[in-house]
Amino acid sequence: MQPWDPSALIKLIAVVGSLCGMLYGARGVFMRLKEKQQGFGPSSLHALAISFFLPVLVIVALVSGLESQALAALLGTVAGYVLSSAKKDE
């Protein structure tokens, strides 16, 4: 048997941490909705998408060895999504 590579162990810890962060974020969104006694709307969908997309982005970057240009493009997409404001129907 070969001993574990330290970088593989760090990647494993980061992936497990990202998955825990994803679940914690989703739990936080739903707990906040229950606390405010609100239904599921555009703002909660926005928060839920962010809490799922960012950890998935970290996992994909770690596992597949994503190039820095592709990672920058994906992070720019997330930043545009987060900073965008939804227009209300008039």
Residue-range domain boundaries for the chain:
13-82
pLDDT in tens, 36-76: 888 887 788 888 888 888 888 888 888 888 888 888 898 88
pLDDT level of residue 20 (50, 70, 90 thresholds):
very high
Q: Which of 21, 7, 8, 31 is closest to 56 using CA atoms? A: 21
Asked whether the beta carbons of 44 and 38 are under 8 A apart, the reply is yes
pTM of the model: 0.72
pLDDT at 6: 81
